[in-house]
């Protein structure tokens, strides 16, 4: 059971995280500024969407689904195969910010979570 004060519960739990990740990957196909990020993803985004859903569920304070399925996240190590530079990071963040704004209506959680997401995205930088 997740903590009722955790961001996961405050934003609406599984339903909210599912809507967020679904919208995020739809935007990756729609936003021109996400082209560099989209190019380093597989043609079929279903697996990526499922992994992001699992990861965000635990990261936001819900059940540790990602860890149960995959072990420790070690996100940077898991992404070293993909060339991630400023364009990929900014494209990813554009998708995340817009998806969050369109699916999550909780200003306090937004203020707490988005800076952490931005720092995490920038930590993925591994080229240029």
- CATH architecture of residue range(s) 7-123: Orthogonal Bundle (1.10)
- Are 125 and 84 a contacting pair, CB within 8 Å? yes
Instruction: Kindly report, residue by residue over 38-82, the tens digit of the pLDDT.
Output: 999 999 999 999 999 999 999 999 999 999 999 999 999 999 999
pLDDT at 103 over 70: yes
Residue-range domain boundaries for the chain: 7-123
Cα separation, 104 vs 50, in Å, equals: 19
Q: What was the pLDDT predicted at 1?
A: 53
Hunting for tokens 């729609």 — which residue is that?
30
Q: What would the mean pLDDT of 109-119 be, rounded to a whole number?
A: 98
Instruction: Find the Cα–Cα–Cα–Cα dihedral 34, 113, 111, 27, rounded to 10°.
Output: 20
Instruction: Kindly report, residue by residue over 78-90, the tens digit of the pLDDT.
Output: 999 999 999 999 9
Cα separation, 60 vs 3, in Å, equals: 10
Q: What was the pLDDT predicted at 64?
A: 98
């Amino acid at each position: 059971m997740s903590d009722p004060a955790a961001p996961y519960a405050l934003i609406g739990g599984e339903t909210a995280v599912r809507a967020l990740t679904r919208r995020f990957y739809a935007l990756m196909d729609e936003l021109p500024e996400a082209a560099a990020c989209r190019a380093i993803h597989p043609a079929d985004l279903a697996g990526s969407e499922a992994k992001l859903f699992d990861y965000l569920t635990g990261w936001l304070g819900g059940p540790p689904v990602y860890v149960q399925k995959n072990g420790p996240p070690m996100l940077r190590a898991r992404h070293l195969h993909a060339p991630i530079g400023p364009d990929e990071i900014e494209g990813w963040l554009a998708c995340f910010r817009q998806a969050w704004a369109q699916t999550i209506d909780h200003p306090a959680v937004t203020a707490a979570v988005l800076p952490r997401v931005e720092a995490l995205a920038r930590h993925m930088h591994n080229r240029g």
